[in-house]
Amino acid sequence: MKIQGSVALVTGANRGLGKAYVEALFAAGATKVYAGARDPSSITDSRVIAIKLDVTSREDVKAAAKECQDVDILINNAGAMFGSPMLADDSEEALRREMEVNVFGVLSMIRSFAPVLAKNGGGAIANMLSVVSWFTLPFNATYCASKHASLAVTDGARIQLREQGTQVVAVYAGFIDTEMAAGLAEANEPKTPPSQVAERTLQGIIDGVDHVRADDRSEEMWNSIRQDPEGFERSMQKLWDERPR
């Protein structure tokens, strides 16, 4: 589909990658952008329509779907990450919180906006995933689990929504230069500009693709895992075994 003339909703739009999505949408010719955030006063861009949207709140999601009846592009960008190994003392709490945003929040948005998109001709949904949708980084394992699940939600939604003409795009990237990745010890390599991820996502929507690998790291991880999955698993074990004690 075309971005030119479209109406979009971006979740988690008040900072980082969400702001980059807003910028990319306007640059590509979107005529209206709804910017969702838990605190809409944190959105200062006068071009957007700021809406209160906590994706874990059924009331907020329902209200957004009622207000934004002209949307034909939904970008599920809001995310949570707490950097917890799977058996850490607080891992259960971390996983529950990550699942609420990264999985159930995404599902809630898709379920609520699918009828809106259908009414408007099908449109597109882009779900911001991660390279860790494909493997488990031991230091951030609960987040990885939530992204594995979010990929399954994305794939399942794509299968069901194709018949109404809705494109569902999975977007993968490595470490993005945002506040979320700043605290990760593993993120000591060059980070991907948020603008690149946003622009490649929109190009994926234009091109009608199902999966967008938005940076070099995602391409490298994809190829490495496919070529030698057992070797890749051993590399994750080595990372854990050689961690500082």
Q: What is the CATH number of the domain that holds 148?
A: 3.40.50.720
pLDDT at 245: 86
List CB contacts of 159: < 8 A, sequence separation 6 or more. none
Q: Is residue 194 part of a domain?
A: yes
pLDDT at 184 (0 to 100): 56
Give the single-character DSSP code of 176.
Answer: B
Q: Is 141 a member of any domain? A: yes
Q: pLDDT (tens digit, 0 to 9) for every residue of the chain, 245 residues total?
A: 999 999 999 999 999 999 999 999 999 999 999 999 999 999 999 999 999 999 999 999 999 999 999 999 999 999 999 999 999 999 999 999 999 999 999 999 999 999 999 999 999 999 999 999 999 999 999 999 999 999 999 999 999 999 999 999 999 999 898 766 555 555 566 789 999 999 999 999 999 999 999 999 999 999 999 999 999 999 999 999 999 98
Cα dihedral sign, 177-34-154-197: negative
* Residue 180: per-residue pLDDT: 65
Model confidence, pTM: 0.95
**Tokens encoding 102:** 């990264």
In a domain, 128, yes or no: yes
- Residue 83 maps to a domain: yes
What is the signed CA dihedral for 83, 87, 76, 23, rounded to 10 degrees? 10
Host H or E run for residue 171: strand 167-172
DSSP label of 211: E
Domain count, the chain: 1
The rounded distance, in Å, linking the Cα atoms of 127 and 159 is 14
| Structural domain contains residue 85 | yes
Tokens 């070797």 correspond to: 231
Considering the domain boundaries, does residue 51 fall inside one?
yes
Report the C-alpha gap between 118 and 124 in whole angstroms. 10
Give the pLDDT of residue 106.
98
Domain interval for residue 156: 7-241
In this predicted structure, what is the pLDDT of residue 190?
Answer: 77
Q: For residue 161, how many C-alpha atoms fall within 13 Å in the half-sphere facing its CB?
A: 28
Is residue 197 within 8 A of residue 129, CB to CB? The reply is no
1 occurs within a structural domain: no
Residues 6 or more apart in contact with residue 56 via CB below 8 angstroms: 100, 101, 104, 105, 108
Give domain status of residue 2, yes or no: no
Chain center to CA of 43: 19
pLDDT for 129 equals 98
